[in-house]
Amino acid sequence: MIEIKLLPIVGSFAENKDLARDIRLKKIIHALEDKQEITLDFDGIDLTTQSFIHALISDLIRKYGIDVLDKLYFKNCNETVTKIINIVVDYMQERE
């Protein structure tokens, strides 16, 4: 299990999609390829955007299937962050 603390990378407003993509490509995918589980720690993140969460996780679902969520944990999410993550996961599961 690896844990990625997002606050030091993206700040309290997680909106920079370039950083989201970097985290996915350089950290999450590496861990998944090593058969590790990943915790994304949103401690200190007050707000995020749908675009950021989409850039962070949508391609994981696209490439690894929805089962990737069994290896991905979202920690310390406030209510708004939780709802935005749920929206992205919902529409990625609803697509064909």
Partner 1 sequence: MVCMKVHLPNSAFLGNIDPFLRNFDNSNTAKLKITANKKWISIHPVVLSMIASLGLTVKSSNIQCEKLEAASKHYLERMGLFRFLNIESEIVIKEHEPAGRFIPLTKIDNSEELTKFITNMIPLLHLESKQAELIKYIVSELVRNVLEHSRSENGAIVSAQYYKKSNTIRIGIVDTGVGIKSTINMSHNAPTDLEAIRLAQIPGITGATRREGGTELNAGAGLFFIRSIAKVNRDFFMVYSGDAMYKLLKSKAGLKRIRLHADPFKDRHSKGEKFPFWQGTIVGIDISLDSTKEFSILLDLIRDTYIKTIRERRKARYRRPRFI
Q: Does 51 bind partner 1 (CB under 8 A)?
A: yes
- 76 near partner 1, rule: CB under 8 A: no
User: Can you tell me the distance from the alpha carbon of 13 to that of 15, in angstroms, rounded to the nearest whole number?
Assistant: 6
What is the per-residue burial (b if ≥16 Cβ within 10 Å, else e) of 38-76? Answer: bbbbbeebeebeeebbbbbbbbbbeeeeeebbebbebee
| Least Å from the CB of residue 47 to partner 1 | 5
- Cβ contacts of residue 13 below 8 Å, gap of 6+? 45, 46, 47, 48
CB closer to partner 1 out of 3 and 80: 80
Residue 15 in contact with partner 1, rule: CB under 8 A? yes
Q: Tell the smallest beta-carbon distance from residue 79 to partner 1 (Å).
A: 5
Residues making contact with partner 1 (CB under 8 A): 11, 13, 15-18, 21, 46-47, 49-51, 54-55, 58-59, 61-62, 79-80, 83-84, 86-88, 90-92, 94-96
